[in-house]
Structure formats: structure tokens, C-alpha cells
Copies of this chain bind each other. A is one copy, B any other.
Amino acid sequence: MSVALQEVRPVAKRALRTEAPAAVSAPDFCRTCALSSACAMVGYGLPELSPLYRLMEHLGPYRAGDAVFHQGDVFEAVYAVRSGAVKTRQLDKDGHEHVLGFYLPGEVIGLDAIYPAQFPCDAIALEDAQFCRFSFPAMSLLATRQPAVQKHLFRLIGQRLGMRQLLSGDYSADERMAAFLVDLGDRYAARGFSATQFRLGMSRGDIASYLCLAAETVSRTLSRFRSQGLIVLRGRALVLQQPETLRALGKNLLAD
């Protein structure tokens, strides 16, 4: 069975180095990264950008359970996932965990720390993972010189905002679960993987926290989806058998 999350690793090993501006031969990973446009601005021989050459650096590998940054850390950079999978989570004042999001290769973590300039959450690797770290001051500066980068940043932030708004409605467990699965599939597809076969990198408890449900409800809902033939599920390996039925179920939570 396909294991999408793991297929990324070999590719990521030959990812772009800022010191080696191998423009044309940028690896597959970078082509699908959400920050590729900012990245492309670096190392393409624009003299006025030379102070920004150190905009990006590589981080990792991290092991499952490691934190990339912690709640309360000063915000100095955003992170693009190069390989692996990550969750962000908040500990509330009573110590309860709330998962804010999951991030796949090519996606960007940390944008919600712009205000108030410190991270509102921990970022925890769900499996072995690597990252590209982008200094945010440097990126802001780049944005003032390259309107395309500024536009891209606005876009990335706005995207997260829209997603959050949807999740804050009052929806049933079925709607949330269906939308979650379809959204994951769509995001895998956007990064070049299968939209219907992938591995859930996170525990049932993480999913539950993200969707504001109990872990038992997640489990029950998935079991029912399976008995209805909507999905095939063995452990964390998932196949969406009827993605359009699921999409219809979650339509109010999905953009478009």
C-alpha cells in the first residue's frame, strides 16, 4: 500500500542549497513548495538582493516528537516542511492540548506568529522531518523589494485565515471528518501525491483535537465511513473509496 508521507524523503535529500544556486536543477521538492517563489528570488543573481542570500537555511533531521519551535518562542522565522509531517498545538491555561493544524511537505509553518511576534503554539514532528527555515525579517525586507513576494506572503497568511474560519463553525462529526479527509487528499494532490491513498501521520487523538471531537468519536466515525464503503482503513493507511461522497458530506467546510 502506498505510503505517501515517506516517499518524500529521498527527494528532499537533494534539495536546494542557498550556497549552491543551482537554478534550473532545483529538485522536485522545491517546485511544489509554497515558498518556492521567495526561494527563487534568492540566488538568481540579483545584485541588490545579496544581503538576503542567507534568507534560508536547512534544519533537521528531527525525530518524531521533536519540537521545531515552542509556544512563546520569539518569532524570527517561518519554516517550510521539506520532508515528514508536523502538527502545531497549543496548550491552554488548564494544560489541555489543542491541535491547530497538520503540515505536509511543501507547506509553511509559523505564519500565525506574525502577531504578537511570538509563536502561539508548539510545532511537533509527527515523524522524522526536515525543514527550510526562512528568516522573517529578511523575508519582510525581500517583500518590500519584490512585490511578488509580498503578495505571496499575504496570500499564504490569508489562506490560513480562511481555513480557520471554516473550522470555527458548528458542524457535525461526520462533516468535520469527511472534510478533513478530503482536505488532506487535496493537499497531497497539490504537492504531487495521490489524493485518495495516503497514510495518516497523526494519531486519532491528534485528529480529534484538531476537529474538536473526542478520540472515540473519531474512531467511531471512521468505522462507520468504512462500513458504508466510503473509505478503506487499516491502521493509519487510508484509501478514499468515494471521495466525491465525502466531499459532498464536508462541502460546507471545504473551500470552493
Contact = CB atoms under 8 A, between A and B. Distances in A.
Interface string A33-64: 00000000000000000000000000000000
Contacts of A116: 158-159, 162, 255
B212 A165 contact: no
Given A114-B157, A157-B158, A165 B252 contact: no
Interface stretch (A148-156, A190-198, A228-236): A148-156
A143 interface: yes
Interface in A208-256: 212-213, 251-252, 255
Interface in A143-193: 143-145, 147, 150-151, 153-162, 164-165, 167-170
Given A115-B158, A115-B161, A153-B154, 17 more contacts: A93-B252, A100-B165, A114-B158, A114-B161, A115-B155, A116-B159, A143-B144, A144-B145, A150-B150, A154-B157, A157-B157, A161-B164, A167-B168, A168-B212, A169-B212, A170-B212, A170-B213
